Homo-oligomer: A and B are copies of this chain.
């Protein structure tokens, strides 16, 4: 990287470098030197843009949050019905392509790192609760006649299921192909009475 190309492109390259190292080397290998090597620069530039190593972590954490949030909101806005919106949002939470599989790996890494890091743990809880509330709104819109208790329980089942599936699929894509993941989701939605085909629960 030459001297002073342009700031935003450099910042983006650095973000991608952080993301790359985190995704295919793990969180404990996210060293300043590894990020510099992935970005094609030296540690001087990295330490000039980030005050310390922790700033790299929180930056990647925000990157993960913004990426998923943007995709989820686009899917939610572009869905034809509440039930299709619910399905699309849950689907992107699994490991259905290279991007989501990488996100699952990074997410798992942050979850593991949150054990010994109070700040990462706090942001995890905040994002996770926001995610649950979002899916709860989608479930409530997909089944307006349900009482709150059922909405909460079904939401919990769905987000836990997709989260676990993302972990499984990312760690063993051969054993958990995309078609199996999608069938699992559709079967679960149908079992809960949330399949898009039938308009309301119990209707033919």
Residue numbers in B under 8 Å from A160 (CB-CB): 160-165, 168, 184
**Interface-lining segment among A6-14, A48-56, A81-89, A151-159:** A151-159
Chain A 102-125, CB-CB to B under 8 Å as 1, else 0, gives 000100110111111000010011
**Chain A residues touching B, majority SS:** helix
Q: How many copies does the complex hold?
A: 2
The answer to whether A24 has its CB under 8 Å from any CB of chain B is yes
A175 lies within 8 A of B128 (CB): yes
Cα of A139 to Cα of B109 in the assembled complex, Å: 31
**Closest B residue by C-beta to A149:** B183
**Interface-lining segment among A25-33, A38-46, A65-73:** A25-33
The answer to whether A129 has its CB under 8 Å from any CB of chain B is yes
Residues on A facing B (Cβ under 8 Å): 23-29, 105, 108-109, 111-116, 121, 124-125, 128-129, 132, 150, 152-154, 156-157, 159-165, 167-168, 171-172, 175-176, 180-181, 183-184, 187-188, 191-193
Not counting A109-B112, A162-B164, a sample of 8 additional A-B residue pairs whose C-beta atoms are within 8 angstroms of each other reads: A26-B113, A27-B112, A129-B175, A132-B175, A157-B184, A157-B188, A160-B164, A164-B167
